[in-house]
C-alpha cells in the first residue's frame, strides 16, 4: 500500500529554518517522482520542489530556489525539504505527493507535472512564519 506521511512543520520567525520530512511506505523512492506543494486558504496549490532520485533531477520554484533544498534518503525511504531563511509568504500547508515514474507523460519534463497528475498525497503539515 502506497502511503506518504508529511511532518516537520511548525511556527518560526522570519529568517528561521525548518526541515520537512516525507516518509514513504509501500513503494521505493527510485520508482517515483516526489513533489512538495503548498497551499494557503483561498489560493491555488503551488508546486514548490520536486525530486526524482533515479533521474538525478531536482526542481525548485523561483521564489524558493535560493533558500530551500530537497533531498532523498533512499535507505530511509524519506524525502526532505530543508527550508532556510523563511519568509512570511512561505506560510502554508505543505504537502508531499508521489507520481509513479511509469506514469510520466512522455513529452513532459519530469518535474513539470501538475498536482492532479500525482497519484498519492500525504496529509500535509502546517508551516507558519511570523515577521
Q: Is-contact 35 22, C-beta < 8 A?
A: no
Sign, Cα dihedral of 81, 39, 25, 56:
negative
Decide if pLDDT at 41 tops 90: no
Decide if pLDDT at 127 tops 90: yes
Q: How do beta strands 32-39 and 92-100 pair?
A: antiparallel
If we measure between CA atoms, which residue out of 87, 112, 88, 89 comes closest to residue 99? 112
User: What pLDDT was estimated at residue 42?
Assistant: 86
Q: State pLDDT tens for residues 19-29.
A: 999 999 999 99
User: What pLDDT was estimated at residue 110?
Assistant: 92
- CA–CA distance, 124 with 39 (Å, rounded to integer): 10
Q: State pLDDT tens for residues 91-112.
A: 999 999 999 999 999 989 999 9
Q: State pLDDT tens for residues 51-73.
A: 999 999 999 999 999 999 999 99
C-alpha cell at 18: 525548518
Amino acid at each position: 500500500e502506497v502511503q506518504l506521511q508529511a511532518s516537520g512543520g511548525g511556527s518560526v520567525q522570519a529568517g528561521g529554518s525548518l526541515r520537512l520530512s516525507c516518509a514513504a511506505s509501500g513503494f521505493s523512492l527510485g520508482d517515483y517522482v516526489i513533489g512538495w506543494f503548498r497551499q494557503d486558504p483561498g489560493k491555488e496549490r503551488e508546486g514548490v520542489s520536486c525530486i526524482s532520485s533515479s533521474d538525478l533531477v531536482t526542481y525548485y520554484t523561483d521564489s524558493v530556489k535560493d533558500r530551500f533544498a530537497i533531498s532523498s534518503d533512499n535507505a530511509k525511504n524519506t524525502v526532505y525539504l530543508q527550508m532556510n531563511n523563511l519568509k512570511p509568504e512561505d506560510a502554508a500547508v505543505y504537502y508531499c505527493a508521489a507520481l509513479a515514474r511509469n506514469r510520466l507523460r512522455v513529452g513532459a519534463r519530469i518535474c513539470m507535472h501538475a498536482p492532479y497528475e500525482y497519484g498519492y498525497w500525504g496529509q500535509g503539515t502546517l508551516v507558519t512564519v511570523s515577521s
